Structure 1
């Protein structure tokens, strides 16, 4: 793997483990974070050996959100109001692009959350396919307490995950929720007793996904993503066209042969 300043990346058994690696700063998202995450997920997309991603944070916390140094300097581009606003808009769109890289990844991304997951941490996990947490994790949309509206994905993605009313409550109040409450409202799929159990559990799920046909997994993800913004009949039309090509893959024959012989299938990357 390339050397990163804000991340550690490992690839084993078809699973890419992407670790936010600034534990001494509570994994706050500094300038390196925002540029490196784009490069990492471009590599994930381009590397056939990678079939699934586990995203976690080093140390006691997943992420405390955007680095306060970056936030303090936000908007200081000049004295002209119009030019300052234009530069600020471009910067926000650039940051949005960093998490769009996660959302648009063709491979499933599983977030493993322990300790703090605050502010930008929520933006990040809502761009993932699934989320898992320790029971005592602390999650919060903190932007409201910083005097701004969350602007890199939470307000757009969270209502689709937990519903509009709950998303508004958390965004308006900025209150903390535990991992267990996050599970009860559907923000995380499952909770675990501690960080070791969390990683073991998430890697077990990732391993199960990695054992499936990569063609089938990517097609399934594409169809689910497509249905966020389309009607049922649109989705049915799209999957018919998609599978007209994908059903010609050798993976279908491999899967059927393994099923009939009651053996574990082995799929090509």
Structure 2
């Protein structure tokens, strides 16, 4: 009696290899889209150049507005690379059938999200490096020193994680990339105005400060100000200090909220 030969099974590559391949695809797709590169990488630089040239005045303690603005524009750059980028790109991929196609392939679904996270990290780091380079070369920005770099890293990392998860969740609200852009971009711009990006946070009306404190951008900008500004300017913050412990708690809480929203709302297929 002969036994039947086992059916051929497709041998999938190692998971790490799949993650690397998907991450490379995400990075290539991003840098091939001129609109994404311009609005995500170049727009923060242009804003730094314009505001740095127009609003070059002293805030006290020998601190220029450009030094103050550096923290906010870096936070805004991370917001653009994460929340805005994720919401628009995922909504576009869902509406054009890309997500449906990927869901039907042998690729682990986790690889898609790993690729997106790698893209956000790479673009965020590129944005930060370019902004710091422009700030140092053209505006004599004082860089963080010592343990301030560690604070810089965890604030930027937690902020990027929170905004990425929120962007993935928001993508499910839009029908396509255009509607996502029309919804998310004005919202992000409004957040920047009330979160201490374009103005000193202490000069913003208190009711706007309260609204801003409900979202991660305000806390990310505040945490980054602590590494670019002297401790004397902490007195201008609403609580009279940098509140780094609260910054960490709020950003971590947004990571949890964003993850829950992603799990509950993410769709691989378009509606209908």
The TM-score, its normalising length taken from structure 2, stands at: 0.28
Larger fraction in strand: 1
The TM-score, its normalising length taken from structure 1, stands at: 0.28
